Amino acid sequence: MRLVRLIFGTTEGAVGAVLLSLLVFIALFAPVLSPGDPLDIAGPPLLHPFSMARLPLGTDSLGRDVLAGIIHGTRTSLTVGLAAAFAAIAVGVCVGLAAGFSGGLVDEALMRVVDAFQILPGFLLALALVSVAGASLPVVVLAIALGAWAAPARLMRAQVLSIRERDYVAAARVTGMHPLEIAVKEILPNALPPVLTLAAVIVAAAILTESALSFLGLGDPNIVTWGTMIAEGRNVLRSAPFLSVLPGLALVVTVITVYLVGEGVTQALAEGKAGQVDRQGPTA
Amino acid sequence: MTAALRLIRRRLATSIPVLLIVIVLTFVLLEFSSGDAVDAYLVSIGGGDPAVAANLRHAYGLDQSHLARLWLYLSSLARLDLGWSVAFERPVADLIVERLPNTLLLMGSATALAFGLGTSFGIVAGARPESATDRVISTVSLILYAIPGFWLGLVLNIVFAVKLRWLPSAGLETIASGRTGWARMLDIAMHLALPVGTLAAIYMALFMRVMRASMAEVWRLDFVTFARAKGLSHRRIVLRHVARNALLPLVTMLGLQSAAMLGGSVVIESIFAIPGFGRLAQEAVTQRDTPLLLGIILTSAVLVIVVNLLLDLVYALLDPRLQPSDRSA
Amino acid sequence: MGLMRIDLLSRRRLLQSASALVAATALPAWSRAQEAKGGGRLVVAADSEPKNLNPAIIASNGVFFIASKVVEPLAEASYTAPGGLAPRLATAWDGSADGLSVTFRLRDGVKWHDGKDFTSADVAYSAMNVWKPLQNLGRVVFANLQAVDTPDPLTAVFRFSKPTPLQLIRNALPAVSSVIPRHVFEGTDIAKNPANLNLVGTGPFRFAEYRPGEYYRLTRNADYWGKDEPKLDEIIYRILPDRAGAAAALEAEEIHLAAFSAVPLSDLDRISKVPGIQVITKGYEALTYQLVVEINHRRKELSDLKVRQAIAHAINRKFVIDTIFVGYATASTGPVPKNAPEFYDPEVASYPFDTRKANALLDEAGYPKGTDGVRFSLKLRPAPYFNETKQFGYYLRQALAAIGIEATLVNADAAAHQVAVYTDHDFDLAVGPPVFRGDPAISTTILVQSGLPSGVPFSNQGGYENKALDAVIAKAAETIDAEARTELYRQFQKIVAADLPLINVAEWGFITVARDTVLNVPDNPRWAVSNWADTALRS
């Protein structure tokens, strides 16, 4: 795909794509790279890194393998990040499309709802929802998505409003295309790209939010999450700082990766659009 | 001027339904959760029996239907009464007035510091895109933005408060020190240095990146080419033309940040034991204290609306070509 | 302003030249307010922020921690006094032979903080209007209290409608008998009285100030009845909800003391080596917390005794003590802890760690392993109140997996956990931390007796019913003779250990970490929640 080539054209995109593939590889093959349940007690507690070959990154205060935790935690972070972003964008796109296309009272009403969700502090909303509904992975994803869907909705609506007036849409209408068909075939493909660049930001924010929630004790206890590892490492921060530092580093690397990919996509789209402008002429 | 007034009036009109939606959402969230304020209370006192629980529920009006409670809340709100906090045994308004200034001080200072530093670095980076300085600043900002705030807070606390003893490790001020005036302000400043520093480091990265990105875009615009053709010095172009126009998206960012203010403070206030709004909200959730949480969310919502309104007016000032409503499109 | 600054500077020079303080421990400028002359100001970490501080209504450790310095009980636990009970507001107590009355002789010359005299009328008021009807623990202990006679201002006679064992009353006194002033509460709505926060008591300290979210402040009661007491001038409870915050504040010398294991167990080894800090394990003997696996007997598999025995055999108590509690706990043998020597019976059924036996029992019970190695699944709810209960939840999950039981952990916050376990019964296994308060009748028998309505926290909500056990409990509640009563509670322990309504895993007290300038810690087995008249700061 041309887009992929453009992404690799930029340094950010290239580095980001490589790192992302590495992370996805780790996430997909976690059970192979680190067999067994990462939450199992693997050895003596509070073992320092590089002191035992079998447990290269040491163990936590219960004796669980830190390396296994970091490897399997990649799954959690990426899953939550991608799922939350997907949900937020899916809902946002639908609402934005509906609002932008319908106009009038429906538009006003939907925009008020979007306003409400944008005003509600996202993290607090997530905190409240997870606290009351119980901390499990689906609930965390839902909680994060609820705080994030408003921005894509607003952006989508703005896109729709501007594209709606373009010539090719008018042309489609004149030829008698059904409004829904116009929405999906003409407007959506052109409106989507900027919304997608928002995706990287949402994924990164979702990963950080999930770790903050786990840090506050609201993580799913049946899976490994980096935030929970940092929270538990906090009790021994002075004597075993590696327990908090290592998952923290993993988080930083993951978020940076997502950002780099996002930057790459943004730049690629900008260049692609520049190319398009030249080709389409004055109507764009 | 009339445009501004029209904007204000229109904003106020749309705010009412928004606030109503916010109230209903928060109410539904807490009321349909598992356990209510009395259950939370029983946990804190280590037990109780159903008779005690039933009495308490009746005393706090928790045995009424959800709709009745919502109606009661809305009607007292119409009288500007924020209700009674079950968890703290005090009027909600008192708690808010007590805790809000601390968080405003914390977040205000952090945002101001981040804005100042972020825009400066962003300008330096964006003045010469793709240069070595730009690369360095961009990389640093990327790393800073990726660092989880709670982790940074922990590390800074250990380094500066416990190991080096340069700054206090927790609290807002020295307990019962009886200080007043400048001495008190200095004391509070020292206590807030670490939490503000942590937050500012994270937010700074955000402002830095936005400023740089918008500067990069502005460079390509017509009037910059024109200015360069006129022979203006590079520095003058940067400061007078590019930066000023690049500020616009930053103003938007500030507006969005204000909504995140309350959430962002929760973890930091927890780590540094600052008696602030964020922690109060967390307490409200743990104690299932609906009136308190509603009061907090409402206050935050009103603040966000006001801040955004002010920023819209600033936006119009910065660029008279645009309508104020364009910012929020 | 300028003068003050000069004053501070010369003070600083004075302090620095004084060789008493080693340079390494010189306090930074902003904490100088905590250095004290004379009695001194003790700064203590508080991790909870009770809104209602009245210990007569709320007999909980969180409240006692602050309030017991202001409001005193009739008697307090003691290491040395006869019967383990030292006189406070009551100087002597005696029970009638028929168990229908208990007579207290009260202390003379005690004044309330507002100057009025303390008399038996206050005791009568507290007992009849607060302990019996309103207090969470008092409702059990004083269930049969009929009236309190006050023949003279220094005598109170408690009269019961049914024979009530003196042994129970005595053991309960430190926790349930906080006396509040009648003249402040009578005629008011007790629940809403402002004196629930601005306490008026007889204790060594007066309530001075509460800054929400920041601290509580108590000041010296110069008119205290105890000679040369209190030794401190002020106590400040600094609210530090974050456990890591307490350890950091202790090392940064911002606080003097952190009780109730505010410093995490895993950090104790490191912090004990920091100069100027002492780790104190004594002082919590009368406040034993128990790590218990609560079982929902409504679940068919769990109603089978063999299954319960298998689970008991699957738990490696040594691991729990050594790793989760870092050695600061003991293995439990039954519902009564070892440090209650009056009642403790070691001769009970035991369940040593034996995975093979556990697997065999499950096979016998008719639950074979499936092709994936799983016999059946369970929902496991660890209580979120302590780090140790949560960690034990993780451990138990793995221990159960080793015998083919797949446990799914549920992470809920305090209120949700409470409702899920004790009201909705939405659990199969739960991990809970009940407290043994000196006598099994206070808060231990309720864990296993049947017939309780749902919604009672820390009670038998697993649907367990054992008529023989209920009979023993009921009889013991009425037996006056101390020896006979003790014997009944030995039977109680034997039945519980054999039939496993719940599984007792470990019992623990808390740890206090303090700077070594704090003296006389601890001086009784309930030190943290008793008055601190004797506590001093070395200057």
Mean pLDDT of residues grouped by 10 in chain C (539 residues)?
36 38 37 49 89 89 93 92 89 90 93 93 93 86 91 93 89 92 91 88 94 88 89 90 76 87 86 91 90 95 94 95 92 92 92 94 92 92 91 94 94 88 93 91 91 87 93 90 92 95 94 91 89 87
**Residues A2, A272: contact at Cβ < 8 Å?**
yes
Given CB atoms, is A216 within the 8 Å cutoff of chain B?
A: yes
Given CB atoms, is A128 within the 8 Å cutoff of chain C?
A: no
pLDDT digits (tens, 9 = 90+) for B39-58: 888 887 777 777 778 888 88
A128 contacts B285? CB cut-off 8 A: yes
B17 contacts A216? CB cut-off 8 A: no
Contacts 24+ apart (CB under 8 A), C267-273: C267/A235, C267/A236, C267/A238, C267/A239, C268/C326, C268/C328, C268/C511, C268/C513, C269/A239, C269/C326, C270/A236, C270/A238, C270/A239, C271/A238, C271/C247, C271/C513
Cβ neighbours, 10 Å, residue B65:
8
Give the pLDDT band of residue B318 (cuts 50, 70, 90).
Answer: low
pLDDT score of B12 more than 50: yes
Q: DSSP state, C129? A: I
- A124, A161, A238 ranked by CB distance to B281: nearest: A124
Give the pLDDT band of residue B7 (cuts 50, 70, 90).
Answer: confident
Query: What's the one-letter identity of residue C524?
Result: N
- B21, B148, B266 ranked by CB distance to A208: nearest: B148
Tokens of A166: 């373009």
B87 contacts C52? CB cut-off 8 A: no
Cα angle: A187, vertex A193, A194; to 5 degrees:
105
- A120, A204, A248 ranked by CB distance to B151: nearest: A248
pLDDT score of B241 more than 80: no
Given CB atoms, is A120 within the 8 Å cutoff of chain B?
A: yes
C413 contacts A131? CB cut-off 8 A: yes
pLDDT at A141: 93
B301 contacts A119? CB cut-off 8 A: yes
Question: Which residues, 6 or more positions from A56, have their beta carbon under 8 angstroms from its beta carbon?
Answer: A49, A50, A67
pLDDT digits (tens, 9 = 90+) for A153-201: 988 888 888 777 777 777 777 777 777 777 777 777 777 777 777 888 8
- A39, A220, A238 ranked by CB distance to C411: nearest: A220
- B42, B158, B176 ranked by CB distance to C217: nearest: B176
- A121, A251, A253 ranked by CB distance to B260: nearest: A121
Query: What's the one-letter identity of residue B84?
Result: W
Contacts of B40 in chain C (CB under 8 A): 414-415, 418
Nearest to A1 by CA among A272, A278, A275: A272
Question: Per DSSP, what are the bridge partners of residue C211?
Answer: C215
As a whole number, the mean pLDDT across chain A is: 84
Q: Which of residues 119-148 of B touch C (CB under 8 A)?
A: none
Q: DSSP state, C118? A: P
Q: What is the mean pLDDT of residues B118-131?
A: 80
Cα angle: C328, vertex C333, C336; to 5 degrees:
85
Best mutation site among C4, C214, C239, C442 for testing chain B: the one with the most B CBs within 10 Å? C214
pLDDT at B61: 81
A215 contacts B267? CB cut-off 8 A: yes
Q: What share of chain A is helix, strand, coil (3-state, %, to 5)?
A: 75, 0, 25
Given CB atoms, is C6 within the 8 Å cutoff of chain B?
A: no
Peptide bond into C230 cis (omega under 30): yes
Which residue segments constitute the domains of chain A, with CATH numbers given? 64-279 (1.10.3720.10)
Given CB atoms, is A135 within the 8 Å cutoff of chain C?
A: yes
Tokens of C256: 């003097």
A129 contacts B154? CB cut-off 8 A: no
- B301, B305, B329 ranked by CB distance to A158: nearest: B329
Q: Give the Cα separation of A189 and C520 in Å (integer).
A: 76
**Residues C236, C220: contact at Cβ < 8 Å?**
no
Question: Which residues, 6 or more positions from C71, have their beta carbon under 8 angstroms from its beta carbon?
Answer: C54, C55, C56, C178, C179, C180, C199, C201, C202, C203
Helices B149-156/B181-219 angle, 10° precision: 140
- Number of cross-chain residue pairs from A and B with Cβ atoms under 8 Å apart: 124
Stated pTM of the model: 0.86
pLDDT score of B295 more than 70: yes
Q: Which of residues 145-174 of B touch C (CB under 8 A)?
A: 154, 157-158, 161-162, 165-166, 168-172, 174
Q: Give the Cα separation of C211 and C215 in Å (integer).
A: 5
pLDDT at C30: 36
Sign of CA dihedral A161, A166, A171, A172: negative
Pairing of strands B90-91, B84-85: antiparallel
pLDDT digits (tens, 9 = 90+) for B252-276: 777 777 777 777 788 888 888 888 8
Q: If DSSP codes are grouped into helix, strand and coil, which group holds residue B101?
A: helix
Cβ neighbours, 10 Å, residue C330:
17
Q: Give the Cα separation of B296 and B93 in Å (integer).
A: 9
Chain C: nearest CA to B140, how far in angstroms?
A: 29
pLDDT at C462: 92
Contacts of C244 in chain B (CB under 8 A): 154, 271
Strand order in the sheet with C277-280: C205-211, C215-220, C234-239, C41-46, C257-258, C512-515, C277-280
Contacts of B255 in chain A (CB under 8 A): none
Q: Give the Cα separation of C57 and C134 in Å (integer).
A: 6
Given CB atoms, is C241 within the 8 Å cutoff of chain B?
A: yes
Given CB atoms, is B91 within the 8 Å cutoff of chain C?
A: no
Q: Give the Cα separation of B100 and B277 in Å (integer).
A: 5
pLDDT at C14: 38
A218 contacts C394? CB cut-off 8 A: no
pLDDT score of B87 more than 90: no
pLDDT at B119: 84
Instruction: Work out the percent of chain A whose per-residue pLDDT is above 90.
Output: 25
Chains that touch C (3 or more CB pairs under 8 A): A, B
Q: DSSP state, B248? A: H
Cβ neighbours, 10 Å, residue A252:
19
How far is residue C235 from each of residues B166, B178, C41, C52, C457, measured CA to CA in Å? 26, 16, 6, 19, 33
C387 contacts A239? CB cut-off 8 A: no
As a whole number, the mean pLDDT across chain B is: 81
Cα angle: C472, vertex C477, C479; to 5 degrees:
90
Contacts of A204 in chain B (CB under 8 A): 146
Cβ neighbours, 10 Å, residue B3:
12
Phi, psi of C146 (to 5 degrees): -100, -45
Could you tell me the maximum CA-CA distance found in chain B, to the nearest angstrom?
85
Pairing of strands C429-432, C376-382: parallel
Q: Which of residues 38-57 of A touch C (CB under 8 A)?
A: 39-41, 45-46
**Residues A54, A33: contact at Cβ < 8 Å?**
no
Best mutation site among A11, A23, A111, A132 for testing chain B: the one with the most B CBs within 10 Å? A132
Cβ neighbours, 10 Å, residue B250:
22
**Residues B148, B78: contact at Cβ < 8 Å?**
no
A204 contacts B282? CB cut-off 8 A: no
Query: What's the one-letter identity of residue B26?
Result: T
B261 contacts A121? CB cut-off 8 A: yes
pLDDT digits (tens, 9 = 90+) for A93-146: 899 888 888 888 898 899 999 989 988 888 888 888 888 888 888 999 999 999
pLDDT at B176: 58
DSSP element (H, E) containing C374? none
The residue of chain A nearest to residue B256, with distances taken between CA atoms, is: A118
Scored b (16 or more CB within 10 A) or e, C120-130 reads bbbbbbbbbbb
Nearest to C511 by CA among C270, C261, C326: C261
Pairing of strands C405-409, C376-382: parallel
pLDDT at C10: 37
pLDDT at B320: 61
- B95, B162, B166 ranked by CB distance to C251: nearest: B162
The residue of chain A nearest to residue B30, with distances taken between CA atoms, is: A132
Helices C166-176/C482-499 angle, 10° precision: 80
Best mutation site among B29, B30, B33, B34 for testing chain C: the one with the most C CBs within 10 Å? B34
Nearest to B303 by CA among B70, B109, B19: B19
Phi, psi of C233 (to 5 degrees): -90, -35
Nearest to C525 by CA among C303, C282, C294: C282
3-state per-residue secondary structure call for C86-116 = EECCEEEEEECCCCCEEEEEECCCCECCCCC
**Residues A121, B260: contact at Cβ < 8 Å?**
yes
Measured in whole angstroms, how far is the alpha carbon of residue C346 from the centre of its chain?
Answer: 23
Sign of CA dihedral C383, C387, C391, C396: negative
Tokens of B87: 């968890």
Strand positions, DSSP E, chain B: 84-85, 90-91
Q: Give the Cα separation of A262 and A204 in Å (integer).
A: 10
C252 contacts B161? CB cut-off 8 A: yes
The residue of chain A nearest to residue C266, with distances taken between CA atoms, is: A236
pLDDT at B222: 67
A131 contacts C397? CB cut-off 8 A: no
Tokens of C68: 């017991």
Measured CB to CB, residues of chain C less than 8 Å from chain A are 243-244, 247, 264, 266-267, 269-271, 323-324, 382, 384, 387, 390-391, 393-395, 397-398, 401, 408-413, 416
The residue of chain A nearest to residue B154, with distances taken between CA atoms, is: A234
Phi, psi of C209 (to 5 degrees): -160, 150
- A40, A62, A239 ranked by CB distance to C270: nearest: A239
Query: What's the one-letter identity of residue C193?
Result: N
